[in-house]
Amino acid sequence: MWRIYQYRMKSHLMDFGNLFWTMIFPIILSSFFSLAFSNIASSEYFNTIPVAVVVESESVYSDNFLDTLSSVQMDDQKLFEAHTFESVSKAEEAMHNEEVDVLFIYDEALEIRVKKEGMNQTVAKHFADQYTQTESMFAHLAETNPQSLSVLANFEFDASDYISDQNQQRGNVDPMLGYYYALIAMACLFGSFLGLKETSFVEANQSSTGARIQVSPAKKSKIYVGGLLAATTIQVFSISLLLLFITFVLKIDMGNRAPALALATIVGAAAGVALGAFVALISKKNYDVKNSMLTGVSMIMSFFAGLMVHSVKYQIYKNAPVLSYINPANLIADAFYALYYYPDYRRYWINIAILVGLIVAMYAVVIFLARRRSYESI
Amino acid sequence: MIVRVNDLVKRYGELTALDHLSLEIKEGEVFGLLGPNGSGKTTAINCILSLLQYEKGDVQIFDQKMTPGSYNIKKDIGVVMQNVAVIPELSVYENIDYFCGLYTNDRATRKAQVQEAIDFVGLNDFVKFRPKKLSGGLLRRLNIACGIAHKPKLIILDEPTVAVDPQSRNNILEGIKKLNREGATVIYTSHYMEEVELICSRIAIMDKGRVVAQGTKDELKNMIQIGEKIDIELLDKVCDSFEKDLLALPFVVDVICDKQHIIIKTRQDSNGLNQILNFFSSKNIALGRVFSERPTLNDVFLEITGRELRDGNGNGKVE
């Protein structure tokens, strides 16, 4: 197996055509992204987020919320610009007209509504979560330890804590990061070319080397495992190279969760290779047609993950959420996105878990179809 | 018996590719499968190797039933595919090592086998070359080395000399004879009848998925009416004038007449050349060059199937 792995590694490394698409092309594309986005990114740094507020029942708590909302700042710039509305319907209308990005409804509890997903909405949701937690803590203290009310009376909600917490994960918020995540996802899916190559190499009805392998006493599973591991290794290396290039050459902050980034890279690379093997076995077309199919599939999936127009990702979320969860490109991009923008790992793990599920499902089909050792025609 | 194929039927939809094919190949033979393109030679090989599923029949190799999972049989078989089956990114040495490694796990043994295969096909000067740097002939030699490096008892070569220059072809054919002398049983498919005649101890002629005749080359040639082909150049007459007289002779099977050039096919055991010369002498017909030859496998194929095995270029290639 080790010998097969080594030779397949060498075969992939000497295949300059595939190496270009899996390793070089994403790096070139990321450089173009960097050139194109450099001015846009600086102009969109930390725009104040317009929000609508509807207070259903006024109280000291609602006043506190409004005060807090208007006092939260980031780099001496207000984070939120609050517009108060008398009714929810008018506020929703304003959101519909895109005058505001988020609607806060303060009744007995704080409710948040958004029209679409995006960075502003994510920031607002985190603020709301943080605020609700803090408020609950105060209420609990007031009920169980009334003596502390005097302390609470002097308490001022410190938004900078929230912002700094976010900052630990987010670094500098770059509105163009979504494009880089989609690019990484596309690069991962380009690993499908390697998966296709491996499958074609082994299957007798797809290549003459496959016929040679099939008539040998070597176990087909051993050849497959060695080859696909080699393909995945090359792909992990390619994606790591892309990440390093984006981080250290283009100076794009990818966050500081290295182990999670590494896992997302490995899972993303494995998903790309699995996709290639899967398509290679379910289609009866020739190698070149399959190669074109994989290029098309990778680009379409990357488009849906926001590679060309970032808002497409959110439109898919909104109108066809299932598609978001079965699109490997979206899951890969979203895993990176979640790592950067979310303080916890919940969304990240959901993406990784679904991706692993997809990989397992694709390889289950590959194992089922690759079990055969004789063919109807070759 | 090294290989026993019994009543094999293989269909592709409506097309019957193998029509109740039966073969027996003995130890130490170089067994030739000869037939035109599409006659079922490669399909037969792929069925024998269990690469292809078949509708009916069975295959035994080394007296054991051959199935896709017969790893103990496969380890003693070497296959040289019709299409060159090598890894383009690896060197000559690495290619042979990779494919030999599918059979031989021990590193030292494999190293010796790879070197022996390189010596055998004469690729010593090219071990670091990648396949795309090799000429067609050298590439075919590499293809052979990848198939035989592990020293198999049974070697199956499917048209190994297609698109190969004459020098490489001779090297390959000599190599096959050498492998046979060293103890390997060989199955050799080709549509080049000269090659088959040259190296095969027994031959099966295939057409439309069936074996239409099999035996040694002499046995095959004795199966047909024609015993001799006499090619005559006429000096002063055209053949039309006496063509009918020739055909009326009891020992003449066929006459092909082209003005001052005539080919006469005579029956087996008829001492045809002498009788034909007597015929021309009695008619005072002056002759130029005269050639006599035994019938070819093409004549055998023609007589049995009614179609030519040879193409129009006279190069022994099937149409």
CB–CB contact B89 A217 (8 Å): no
Q: For A9-29, what is the mean pLDDT?
A: 91
C-beta atoms of A3 and B83 within 8 A:
no
B155 CB-near residues (< 8 Å, 6+ apart): B77, B78, B79, B80, B147, B148, B176, B179, B184, B185, B186, B187
A2 interfacial to chain B (CB closer than 8 Å)? no
For B58-92, the pLDDT digits (tens) are 999 999 999 988 999 999 999 998 889 999 999 99
Q: What is the pLDDT of residue A110?
A: 82
Q: How far is the C-alpha of B260 from the C-alpha of B274, rounded, in Å?
A: 20
Question: From the list A10, A209, A215, which residue is nearest B74 (CB)?
Answer: A215
Q: Which residues of B touch A10 (CB under 8 A)?
A: 89-90, 94
Residues 201-230 of A with CB under 8 A from B: 201, 204, 207-209, 211-219, 223
Question: Each residue of B139-169: b (16+ CB within 10 Å) or e?
Answer: bbbbbbbbbbbbbbbbbbbbbbbbebeeebb
User: Can you tell me the mean pLDDT for A203-232?
Assistant: 92
Looking at the partner chain, which of B12, B90, B103 has a beta carbon nearest the beta carbon of A7?
B90
With bands split at pLDDT 50, 70 and 90, how would you rate the model's confidence at A165?
very low
* DSSP codes, A159-200: HHHHHHHHHHHHSS--TTHHHHHHHHHHHHHTTHHHHHHHHH
Residue A153, H or E segment: helix A149-153
% chain A with pLDDT above 70: 88
Query: What's the mean pLDDT when you consider all of chain A?
Result: 83
CA distances from B57 to B17, B44, B65 (A): 13, 12, 11
State how far the Cα of A26 lies from the Cα of A29, in Å rounded to an integer: 5
What pLDDT was estimated at residue A6?
Answer: 94
For B107, the closest chain A residue by CA position comes to A3
Do A211 and B86 count as a contact with CB atoms less than 8 A apart? no
pLDDT number for residue B300: 85
CA nearest B246: which of B237, B235, B257? Answer: B257
Summarised one tens digit per residue, pLDDT across range A59-95 is 777 888 888 888 877 666 788 888 888 888 899 898 8
C-beta atoms of B89 and A216 within 8 A: no
Counted residue by residue, chain B has a size of 319
Tell which of B102, B142, B143, B158 to mutate to test the A interface (max A CBs under 10 Å). Answer: B102
- Tell me if B87 and A7 make a contact (CB, 8 A cut-off): yes
**pLDDT, position B310:** 54
Q: How many residues does chain A have?
A: 378
CB proximity A373 to B under 8 Å: yes
Find all residues with CB under 8 Å of B15, minimum gap 6, and list them.
none
User: Strand, coil or helix: what is A373?
Assistant: coil
The whole-model pTM stands at: 0.75
Query: A206: nearest CA in chain B?
Result: B85
Low-confidence residues in chain B, pLDDT < 70:
309-319
Q: Which of A212, A219, A378 is opposite residue B52, by nearest beta carbon?
A: A378
Interface test with B, best of A9, A205, A209, A223 (most B CBs within 10 A): A209
Give the C-alpha separation, B111 to B104, whole Å.
10
CB contact under 8 A, B85 and A212: yes
Contacts of B75 in chain A (CB under 8 A): 217
Tokens representing B296 are 């070819």
Contact B51 A211 (CB under 8 A): yes
Cα dist. A60→A66, A151, B172, B236 in Å?
10, 16, 97, 132
Nearest-angstrom CA–CA distance, B285 and A231: 78
Do the Cβ atoms of B53 and A374 come within 8 Å?
yes
Domains of chain A, each with CATH number or no CATH:
2-40+173-372 (no CATH), 47-165 (3.40.190)
Candidates B181, B213, B203, B216; CA nearest to B304 is: B213
CA dist., res. B77 & res. B13, Å (int): 30
Nearest to A126 by CA among A165, A94, A91, A178: A165
